[in-house]
């Protein structure tokens, strides 16, 4: 079976994708294709040291990067600004990468966000391809409902209308797009994140529709209202029109880099455990899967110095047969 990993980046994210390439080559023999928006000739040699890593170009008209596109935190990590239309277009370009990979002839494709790191279990992601019907499948999300806070006002809380303990999906973030696409309020399924996905040739028509919808929406509607989490919102609503199939939560967000990794692989980390903080919302996205063995990927670390610590640690515990015992 002809299979590959893919990711997509802008030129200013190529250093982040190098970390992904390093991790994939440590723990897998499966090729990695890096789709770069508006790739330049001088970029092509950056991945030369990594066997079976190839660059592809995505020709996309996007504006130049501005300081408003990303937000830095004290640790040195940085995160996207979801208000930016440029960021919206960049994130939606993952649909172009998926379409290109399948049209190139790859039979099974695993998409990984560029700030993912492979673990020694990464190739087990392909064990879930049998679930695929006619659309790409994604990992379970950290939260069942995504909340958006703007100017101190909370949006997306399904209990906002006083329906506790029953949810009212007309208050969820996806409801405007659900209504637009004639998805009933009771048809809302599990929320899935699009940073880790699996697809095969049968998924190509769905991906084309997903891409077309992503890039037409800015011309029709208010993106903040109809696609709050960009291509992810669009994917979820389209998948709810299908069977809402997917695979379990298979990643851990690295809010504290190497320290998070050490905690996760220790006995202290309890399956199903999640953190909550009213003051530091980044903590709310560290959740341990119900089955730690499902964790094939680590997500969110962009600092190369931290990545090197993490990969050295994973290699060390792998050499000590940790992943065969757990």
In the chain, domain spans: 3-142+193-325, 145-189
First to last CA, the chain: 28
72 has a pLDDT exceeding 60:
no
Both tokens of residue 200? 């095969």
Closest CA to 97 of 81, 78, 113, 119: 113
Tokens of 117: 């790191």
CATH architecture classification, 3-142+193-325: Alpha-Beta Complex (3.90)
Q: What pLDDT score was predicted for residue 73?
A: 56
Say which residue the tokens 């399948």 belong to: 102
Name which residue leads in pLDDT, 74 or 20.
20
pLDDT tens digits, 90-106: 999 999 999 999 999 99
Cβ atoms of 292 and 326 within 8 Å: the answer is yes
C-alpha separations of 312 from 124, 130, 282, 300, 303 in Å: 21, 33, 25, 17, 14
Q: What is the pLDDT of residues 28-64, one digit of tens each?
A: 999 999 999 999 999 989 999 999 999 999 999 987 7
Could you tell me how far CA 224 lies from the centroid of its own chain?
A: 19
pLDDT of amino acid 151:
86
What stretches of 168-299 show up as alpha helix (H) in DSSP?
175-180, 204-220, 223-226, 230-240, 258-264
Whole-angstrom distance, CA of residue 96 vs CA of residue 43: 20
- Name the token pair of 50: 């990594």
| Helix (H) or strand (E) segment spanning residue 118 | strand 116-118
* Tens-place pLDDT, residues 107-137: 999 999 999 999 999 999 999 999 999 999 9
Is 0.85 topped by the overall pTM?
yes
What percentage of residues in the chain have a pLDDT greater than 70? 91
pLDDT at residue 81 in the model: 66
């Amino acid at each position: 079976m002809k299979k590959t990993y893919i990711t997509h980046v802008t030129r200013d994210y190529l250093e982040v994708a190098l970390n992904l390439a390093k991790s994939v080559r440590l723990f897998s023999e499966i090729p990695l294709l890096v789709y770069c928006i508006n790739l330049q000739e001088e970029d092509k040699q950056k991945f030369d040291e990594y066997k079976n890593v190839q660059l592809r170009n995505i020709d996309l008209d996007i504006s130049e990067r501005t300081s408003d596109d990303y937000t830095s935190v004290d640790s040195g990590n940085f995160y996207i600004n979801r208000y930016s239309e440029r960021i919206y277009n960049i994130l939606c370009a993952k649909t172009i990468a998926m379409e290109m990979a399948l049209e190139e002839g790859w039979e099974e494709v695993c998409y990984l966000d560029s700030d993912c790191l492979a673990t020694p279990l990464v190739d087990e992601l392909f064990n879930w391809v049998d679930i695929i019907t006619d659309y790409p499948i994604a990992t379970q999300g950290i939260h069942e409902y995504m909340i958006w806070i703007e100017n101190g006002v909370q949006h997306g809380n399904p209990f906002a209308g006083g329906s506790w303990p029953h949810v009212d999906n007309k208050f969820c973030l996806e409801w405007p797009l659900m209504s637009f696409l004639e998805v009933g309020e009771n048809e809302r399924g599990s929320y899935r994140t699009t940073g880790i996905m699996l697809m095969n040739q049968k998924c190509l028509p769905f991906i084309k529709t997903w891409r077309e919808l992503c890039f037409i929406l800015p011309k029709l509607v208010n993106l903040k209202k109809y696609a709050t989490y960009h291509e992810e919102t669009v994917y979820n609503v389209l998948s709810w029109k299908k069977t809402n199939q997917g695979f379990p939560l298979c990643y851990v967000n690295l809010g504290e880099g190497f320290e998070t990794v050490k905690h996760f692989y220790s006995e202290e980390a309890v399956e199903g455990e999640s953190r909550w903080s009213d003051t530091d919302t980044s903590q709310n996205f560290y959740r341990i899967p119900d089955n730690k063995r499902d964790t094939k990927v680590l997500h969110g670390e962009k600092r190369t110095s931290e990545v090197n610590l993490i990969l050295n640690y994973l290699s060390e515990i792998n050499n000590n047969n940790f992943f065969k015992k757990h």
